[in-house]
Amino acid sequence: MFGFGDIYDFLIIVVLLGVQYFLASRNSIYWGALLPIGFLIWRIYLIVTTNDNILAQVIIILIGLAFLSGQWVNGRKSVKNKQKKELLKIKVSDI
């Protein structure tokens, strides 16, 4: 996929998913949109500039966006849980 060999490609994907979770777990929801948009632009660029099978490229885009969106959702849930815990601490300290 990236052309560095199978193990390195796998490590790059794992690191990118970790970065996606980190960005999605920030307070601003927009940080989590950076990697999915960048991935989409990169894959569309590859479709336009190469003569690869378009169906295979579309499937790669859908799978990639599914994983990145999944990390985004998990990151947002993490932020909401942290906010709930902080609110609960504030309510307990007020009592």
State pLDDT tens for residues 1-42: 656 677 887 888 899 999 999 999 998 889 989 999 999 999
Query: Per residue in 54-63, pLDDT tens?
Result: 898 999 999 9
The residue count of the chain comes to 95
Query: What pTM did the predictor assign?
Result: 0.80
Distance CA 81, CA 21 (A): 15
- Which amino acid would we find at residue 68? L
Tens digit of each residue's pLDDT (9 = 90 or more) over 35-54: 999 999 999 998 999 888 88
Neighbours of 60 (CB within 10 A): 17
**Two tokens at 88?**
């609960």
**Where are any strands of DSSP class E within 8-75?**
none
